[in-house]
Amino acid sequence: MKKREILDLIPEDGFIKVPETGSVPLSSERKVILMRKGNQLFNEGDVETAGRIFITIGYTDGLIRVGDYYYSHNRTLEALRMYKAAPAQDKVDMIAEKMAYIVRGWLETNL
């Protein structure tokens, strides 16, 4: 497969769907309650549910912690989703650079 053919296979809107953060209208009190619950779940190891809560309330620090957890467990695409939702551009850039390096290596060995 040639480079152009590979690039043509990439969907126009990319591979990763990034959720909208904070799209649910919540009172400040409710956000605090959900933030605490998300932190508790994260500390108990229920990272998936904590991540959903953090996305719902738009809790940047929580999203970054979930992203860091995923990244440390080799779940790079999930980490990227969390970093994009945070937004944590420095971490997004770091992953993008690593992915570009890998793809570049694939292309060089297959061309």
Measured on CA atoms in the order 100, 88, 27, 35, is the torsion positive or negative? positive
What is the pLDDT averaged over residues 21-48? 86
Amino acid (1-letter code) at residue 47 = V
Average pLDDT, the chain: 82
What percentage of residues in the chain have a pLDDT greater than 90? 45
Q: pLDDT band at 106, cuts 50/70/90?
A: confident
CATH fold of the domain at 27-110: 1.25.40
Residues 60-97 have pLDDT tens digits of: 999 999 999 999 999 988 999 999 988 899 999 999 89
Exposed, middle or buried by CB within 10 Å (0-12, 13-18, 19+), for 80?
buried
Tell me the H-state helices in 1-88.
Answer: 3-8, 28-44, 47-57, 60-72, 76-85
Q: How confident is the model at residue 21 (pLDDT cuts 50, 70, 90)?
A: low
C-alpha span between 20 and 102 (Å, rounded): 28
User: What is the residue extent of each domain of the chain?
Assistant: 27-110
Task: Tell me which amino acid residue 42 is.
Answer: F
Is residue 27 very low, low, confident or very high in pLDDT (cuts 50, 70, 90)?
confident
Instruction: Record the pTM.
Output: 0.73
